[in-house]
Every structure is written in structure tokens, then in C-alpha cells.
Chains A and B, each alone.
Chain A
């Protein structure tokens, strides 16, 4: 530690902290609260006036608004559920296989499986749109080759499939992240523990479920909360693949696209920063609830398992 110089105020601490604190406060924290504040205002005759909770009353009470909001929230919940049920288990399974000792080419597999994660949503959205397109015919032809052509549907164009398809595309893109984090967690398990298990005859799959899985639960918790925040804040993939209208007929609308449309306007609807802020506040509330459930509910219980 520094030997404190007794010569008065330590300016260098201020100099070191100032740039980060100023940028962070001005561009992140202040706008966050300003946006929350804006949700209590509305514009009447080109003047910004305080309306209290009226915007929230509109969002949750007005038939047109609340229908859109619950639709977006419901879709978002489904989007999140698919990530939790498909992305994270696949990620964990891949990590478990990769971490097995003496596996050859594991660095190659790791790097290759991570590639989709580094691509932008624009590339991913369009690439899959083209591949699944009935015009190009890659997807139907491939299904035809294995005799399953009857399964083919223009998945992105049908209301009942579009959201699930896009969720799976997003899973395809991000499976690398849980894979890497779980892989790191598995490597950090001390060999003695595994060897002790081996002496008791616990190997292979049962070693995974009985020894490793309980030990990596904290990492699974972190991945879950990261997935939650990222999903309830998602926008880019839906926008790149389906546009701001989140078609067909709003079946892929999630909170991010709903907020974008409301705030920026589209076609006939004018942009409304106040209702946009109201939706942003609702998103903030949802994310806060999720993070709090994790911090106070899940993380504490999981700590018990750590060494």
C-alpha cells in the first residue's frame, strides 16, 4: 500500500479516477436516470409536462398498448426460456466433452464452435434468413436428402414458428459463451476431488452428474443471469432478420423492438420519447428483478458449494 503523503489533499487520486467517473456518469448513469424520469412526463402542445404515472397507466391499461406490451413480454419470456433450455444445456454438454483429458484437437473445436459468437447479428440474421428461405431451397433440399422434406416450413414467415426459429438462431450464435465459461469452471476443479471419486468407483457420466455438476453450479448461475440480461435487452437479431415491425404480425416482437418502434416511430406511428422511456423503465424493472433474484436468491445458496 502507498505510504500516505501527509502533505494535504491527494490530487493524484482524483486525477486517476476523474476521466472514468466523468464519462461513466455522464454517458451511462445520468441518462439512465434521465430516461426513468422521462417516463413520468408527456408532451402536450409541444411542452413537456409532468403526468405522474399516467404513461404507465397507458402502457398497462390501454387496450392497444397493453396488448403490445404483454405480447412483447411474453415473446421475450419464450425467447429466454429457449435459451435456458437449449443453449445452456448444449453449452454445458460441449464443455464437458471438451474438458475430458487427453482429447485431441480440443483447441480447434473450441475455436471453431466459438466463431458464430463473434459474427454480427446482421450477418447471422441474414445468413439464416437466406438458408431457411424457400426461394433458395438449401433447407428443404437438405431435409429432402434425408427423406424429411415434409417437415419443411418457411419457418421465419409463419407466425407460429418464427419466434422459436429466431430463438434457435440466437442459440446457435451464442452457444460458445456458456461453453467457454463452463469449460473454464470444469478445468478449475481440483484433480484430487475427481481422483477421490474414481477410488470410490465414480467415473464417466456419473462422475459428471455427481461431482462436477454440483461444483459448477455457481458458473451456471452466472450464465443464467447473463443470459437473462442479454435476452431482455435483445434487439439486433430480430431487427436484422424481421425488421422493426418484428413480423409476421408482431409474432417476433420483443421488448427491444417494441421500445425501438415506440421511441423512434415507424410508418404511420410517430415516435414518442416518453412512451419509449416508459417501456425502457419497464425493461429496467424486469432486469433489476432478475438480477436481484440472482444476487439474493440464487447466488447465496450456490456459494455453499464452493471450495
Chain B
């Protein structure tokens, strides 16, 4: 630890700057949330006031529940995110294990090939992805989205996980081999449980971009029954653009699930970033 004695002036300045920026970061979210619980008149008369007994109104949420199928959208987003994450982690860990554990011809080349996708955005290939999904009949299915997000997440997952798997002790694996465990059992029973923290990091990194993506749902799965929450709220807000109560409530409902996920996983996320996993 540094032994500098910080003058209280510097400390106060530091806090002042941080508090100012925190307010800037949270202000829009706060305004949206408080106004979603107010009547239309109160939204315009005093936009910065908290809702009170007089101005409290749930009219916006009623519109959202009656008009939009938000439960369906939420379910679609949930399925897409959970299945994509599972596949990214499973396939990514398997490939990372192969790259970290075995010496075979083309190992380095395979690693570089898989790492290409870290820098090149998958969106560049959208035209051909859509044609492929049309020809295989996967357009307007959640499967199309799951495949795209899995492919998009794999490069970074393999990269991070193989770094971690190189750190798993060889003695442990060799002891398993002497006991007659197959390579598959060594992977699933011995190695996988040990890299769980790294898997959590990978999951958290991938979760937010998948949940929030607008591009692929818009292009590959715009149909009503497969809309994700992000696309659903975009379309809903576009239709109800003059109904401020409904728009504010829809925004709040879109904020809510991400905030819950963030509160649950923020430690993991921040630890993941600060441990240098993305260097």
C-alpha cells in the first residue's frame, strides 16, 4: 500500500467528482422509473418530482400489459440467452480443453483460427447469415438467434477458458488417467469443476450483449411469437410513441430484468474485468 497521506481536500474533490458522475450515470434511469408511476398530467407538470398519493398512477403499466405481449418477449429472451450461454460454455470449454491439454498438429493454427472472431464482428456476415437461415427454414425461430449468439460468443470463451485450463494441475489429470478415467471423464469430472470461476466470467460477459442485441432479432426473428424483449420494447415504444405513460412503463419494464441480473452478477462481472480476463 502506498503510504501517501492524502490531504482531505483531495479526498473531498475525488468524492465530488465521483458523486457528480454517478448522478449523471443514474439520472436518466431514475427519471424514467419515477415518471412511469405518475399520471400523464404529473409527468409533464413536474417531471422531476417523486410520485405521491395524488400523482401516482399505474395507467402506463396497464396499457403495457393489455397491449404488448411482454411475458412472451421476456420468455423468448430468457430462452435465447440461457441456451446460447449453455452452448457457449459447453462447446467453448470443450474446445479450450482440447487446445490447452493436447499437443497435436495444427494446435496453434486452430487457436488462431478460433481467435479471429474476437476482433471481427459477426454482423459483417449478416447478408449471408440471413440467406442461410432462409434456405434452412430457420428464419423466425429462436434457434437462428441461438446459433448466431453461440458462434459470436465462442472465440472469446475459448480464449479465456484455455488460459485458465493451462493452470489446472497435470498431476490431478494424470492421477485420473492412472485410475482409468477416460479423457471425457477427466474433462467433465476433474477439469470442469475447477474452472467454474472462469466459466462464470465468460457467462457474464456474454449475457448482457445477447440480452440487449437488437440487430439479429430485427433481421432474423422479427415475427411476433419469437420477438425478444429488446425488439419487443423497441416495436412497442414505436407504436405508442405519443402515449407517454405506456412508453415510460415499457422502458421501466425493460430496465428491470437487466438490473436484477446486474445486482446478482455485478460482483462476478467486475471481478472478471478487473482480474484481467479480457486483456
- A residues lining the B interface (CB < 8 Å): 1-4, 10, 12-13, 15-17, 19-21, 23-24, 26-32, 34-35, 38, 90, 93-94, 97-98, 100-103, 105, 107, 109-124, 126-128, 130-131, 136-138, 141, 172, 175-176, 180-181, 183-184, 187-188, 191, 194-195, 198, 203-204, 219, 222, 225, 229, 233, 235-236, 239-240, 256, 259, 263-264, 273, 276-277, 280, 283-284, 287-288, 291
Interface residues of B in 140-156 (CB under 8 A from A): 147-148, 150-152, 154-155
Q: Which of B97, B102, B117 contacts A28 (CB 8 A)?
A: B117
Is A101 in contact with B1, judged by CB distance below 8 angstroms?
yes
Chain B residue nearest to A145 in the complex (CB)? B48
Is A100 in contact with B6, judged by CB distance below 8 angstroms?
yes
A245 to B98, CA, bound (A): 47
Chain A CB within 8 A of B180 CB = no
Is A32 in contact with B128, judged by CB distance below 8 angstroms?
yes
A203 to B3, CA, bound (A): 11
Q: Which of B28, B211, B247, B270 contacts A111 (CB 8 A)?
A: B270
Is A32 in contact with B91, judged by CB distance below 8 angstroms?
no
Q: Which of A90, A103, A188 contacts B14 (CB 8 A)?
A: A103
A38 to B129, CA, bound (A): 12
Segment from B56-64, B118-126, B193-201 that makes contact with A: B118-126
**A122 and B47 in contact, given A115-B25, A181-B273 (Cβ under 8 angstroms):** no
Is B278 in contact with A229, judged by CB distance below 8 angstroms?
no
Is B258 in contact with A118, judged by CB distance below 8 angstroms?
yes
A-B contact count (CB 8 A): 274
B121 partner residues in chain A, CB cutoff 8 A = 229, 233, 287
- B residues lining the A interface (CB < 8 Å): 1-4, 6, 10-11, 14-15, 17-18, 21-22, 24-26, 28-29, 31-32, 43-44, 47-48, 87, 90-92, 94-95, 97-99, 101-104, 110, 114, 116-117, 119-132, 147-148, 150-152, 154-155, 158, 170, 173-174, 177, 182-184, 187, 208, 211-215, 218-219, 230, 233-234, 237, 244, 247-248, 251, 254-255, 258-259, 261-262, 266, 269-270, 273-276, 278-279
**A273 and B17 in contact, given A23-B154, A118-B258, A194-B2 (Cβ under 8 angstroms):** no
